[in-house]
């Protein structure tokens, strides 16, 4: 039904997108619009079903409705739930949206509000009513592997198990991975992880097998509100920026894009998974300024060379002083 995977004109790839593939394919990417996420977790389940991922340990967290807690070897899509009480948030935006122009205000008392601040019932002269107080908002966001342009996991992989596909997505080859675990702390987003009973690392493949046959990834297919979109990076970037403009124009506070090369995707040269967030990244458990540390490798090797030199010098100095 959806044309999400259709490739618009202009088959262009970013630098470093997917070197070595002829003819070049357009880079594929996610755009997760968290403003329309309803927290149904269909993406998590669809992902696990399609990719045959084992469940995580059953553990109730009390962290709103989130019981899978983070991305990991067995959770390739993870829906975060954030409950916020914000004094002025959303009320005006809601009124602006729902009230007829020139009409008196639509009474939204009780809609999405929780009257817990101050005296319950204040400002509610009626016998039954929702107490006044700060509004709350319930943020939901489906997180996923960022498929970085400069992917630290891939860079540090010593076996070549991690590779860049023709869609410029970052994928682990399970038949190659020997479970050295280096990619795990290398990922600036805390995405990839080792499956203890299996020994290898696992993460989102952006449904490489489905992309190969022109089908959209399972999570996007299952998403009932089109919070998860898939297409060329170009198309997703355009969609994300247009949506951001809409949301900002509607007066929603805190709206920001996540993952653009010119923004907070800077340190990884942009991601293949863009997000529209309604608060700072760290509120969703995302790093505000991630970096592919392999970018600093030259300086690290230089420091190692200097240190190695010091070692040689120490030995030389020690050996020149005679036997005793």
Partner 1 sequence: MVPAAELRSYYDRPVIKAPVWTWEIPWYFFVGGLAGASAVLAAGARIAGQGRLARSARLAAGAATVVSPALLVADLGRPARFHHMLRVFKPTSPMSMGTWVLTTFGPAAVGSAALAELRWLPGLQRVAEGVAAALGPGMATYTAVLFADTAVPVWHEARRDLPAVFAGSAAASAGALAAITTPPRHAGPARRLTLLGSALELGAAEVMRHRLGDLGEPYEQGDAGRFARASRLLTAAGGMLVALAGRRGRLPAAVGGTLVLAGSVCQRWAVYRAGFASAADPRYVVGQQRARLRARAGAPG
Partner 2 sequence: MRADGRPVSGIADLRDDGSTSCGCWIYAGCYADGVNQTRRRKPGAEQTWVAPEWGWAWPANRRLLYNRASADPQGSPWSQRKAYVWWDAEAGRWTGQDVPDFPATLAPGTEAEPGAQGVDAIGGGDPFIMQADGKGWLYAPTGLVDGPLPTHYEPHESPVATPLDGQQANPARVLYDRKENAYNPTAGEAGAEAYPYVMTTYRLTEHHTAGGMSRTLGHLAELQPEMFCEVGPELAAERGLEHGGWATIVSSRTAIEARVLVTDRVPVLRVGGRTLHQVGLPYHWGSKGLVTGDAANDLFGLALDPNVNIQEVKAATCDVLAGRRPHGEALRALVERHPSNYPAHRRGTVTT
Residues of span 247-266 touching partner 2 by CB under 8 A: 249-250
- Compute the chain's Rg from CA coordinates: 24
Chain positions 35 to 74 lying near partner 1, rule: CB under 8 A, are 61, 63, 66, 69-70, 72
Decide: is 289 part of the binding site for partner 1 (CB under 8 A): yes
Chain positions 201 to 230 lying near partner 1, rule: CB under 8 A, are 201
Chain positions 103 to 162 lying near partner 2, rule: CB under 8 A, are 103-104, 110, 113-116, 120-121, 124, 127-131, 136, 138
Q: Which is nearer to partner 1, 217 or 290 (CB)?
A: 290
Among 56, 173, 238, 293, binds partner 2 (CB under 8 A): 56
Spell out the residues 6+ positions from residue 159 whose beta carbon is closer than 8 angstroms to its own: 176, 177, 178, 180
Chain positions 66 to 85 lying near partner 2, rule: CB under 8 A, are 67-68, 83, 85
- Which span sits near partner 1 by CB under 8 A: 18-26, 90-98, 179-187, 227-235? 179-187
* CB-CB contact of 69 with 134 (8 Å): no
17 three-class SS: coil
* CB-CB contact of 30 with 230 (8 Å): yes
Among 21, 67, 182, 260, binds partner 1 (CB under 8 A): 182
- Which span sits near partner 1 by CB under 8 A: 93-101, 120-128, 216-224, 315-323? 315-323
Q: Which is nearer to partner 1, 80 or 218 (CB)?
A: 80
Closest CA to 201 of 229, 239, 175, 238: 175
Q: Which is nearer to partner 1, 122 or 315 (CB)?
A: 315
* CB-CB contact of 190 with 143 (8 Å): no
Integer Cα distance of 180 and 50 in angstroms:
26
Spell out the residues 6+ positions from residue 200 whose beta carbon is closer than 8 angstroms to its own: 172, 174, 177, 178, 179, 194
Decide: is 180 part of the binding site for partner 1 (CB under 8 A): yes
Decide: is 45 part of the binding site for partner 2 (CB under 8 A): yes
Long-range contacts (CB closer than 8 Å, 24 or more residues apart) made by 237-240: 237/29, 237/31, 237/274, 239/31, 240/31, 240/33, 240/274, 240/276
Sign of the torsion angle spanned by Cα atoms 255, 260, 261, 262: negative
Chain positions 149 to 168 lying near partner 1, rule: CB under 8 A, are 152, 155-161
CA torsion 207-166-258-200 (nearest 10°) is 50
Decide: is 308 part of the binding site for partner 1 (CB under 8 A): yes
Decide: is 9 part of the binding site for partner 2 (CB under 8 A): no
- The site for partner 2 (CB under 8 A) is made up of 1, 36, 39-42, 44-45, 48-49, 54-60, 62, 64-65, 67-68, 83, 85, 96-101, 103-104, 110, 113-116, 120-121, 124, 127-131, 136, 138, 226, 246, 249-250
């Amino acid at each position: 039904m959806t044309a999400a995977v259709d490739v618009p004109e202009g088959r262009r790839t970013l630098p470093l997108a997917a070197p070595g593939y002829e003819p070049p394919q357009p880079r594929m990417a996610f755009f997760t619009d968290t403003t329309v996420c309803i927290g149904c977790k269909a993406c998590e389940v669809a992902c696990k079903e399609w990719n045959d991922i084992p469940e995580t340990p059953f553990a109730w967290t009390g962290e709103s409705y989130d019981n899978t807690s983070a991305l990991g070897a067995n959770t390739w899509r993870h829906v975060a739930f954030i409950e916020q009480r914000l004094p002025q948030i959303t009320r005006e935006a809601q009124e602006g949206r729902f009230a007829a122009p020139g009409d008196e205000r639509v009474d939204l008392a009780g809609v999405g509000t929780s009257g817990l601040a101050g005296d319950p019932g204040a400002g509610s002269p009626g016998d039954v009513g929702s107490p006044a107080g700060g509004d709350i908002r319930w943020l939901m966001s489906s997180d996923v592997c960022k498929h970085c342009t400069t992917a630290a996991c891939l860079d540090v992989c010593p076996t070549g198990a991690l590779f860049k596909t023709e869609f410029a997505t970052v994928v682990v080859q399970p038949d190659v991975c020997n479970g050295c675990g280096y990619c795990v702390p290398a990922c600036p987003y805390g995405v990839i992880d080792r499956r203890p009973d299996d020994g290898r690392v696992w993460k989102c493949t952006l449904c490489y097998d489905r992309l190969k046959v022109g089908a959209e990834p399972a999570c996007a297919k299952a998403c009932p509100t089109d919070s998860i979109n898939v297409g060329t990076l170009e198309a997703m970037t355009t969609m994300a920026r247009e949506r951001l403009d809409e949301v900002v124009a509607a007066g929603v506070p805190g709206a920001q894009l996540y993952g653009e090369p010119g923004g907070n995707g800077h340190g990884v040269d942009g991601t293949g998974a863009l997000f529209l967030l309604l608060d700072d990244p760290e509120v969703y458990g995302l790093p505000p300024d991630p970096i592919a540390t392999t970018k600093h490798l030259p300086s690290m090797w230089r420091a190692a060379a200097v240190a190695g030199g010091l070692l040689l010098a120490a030995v030389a100095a020690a050996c020149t002083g005679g036997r005793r």
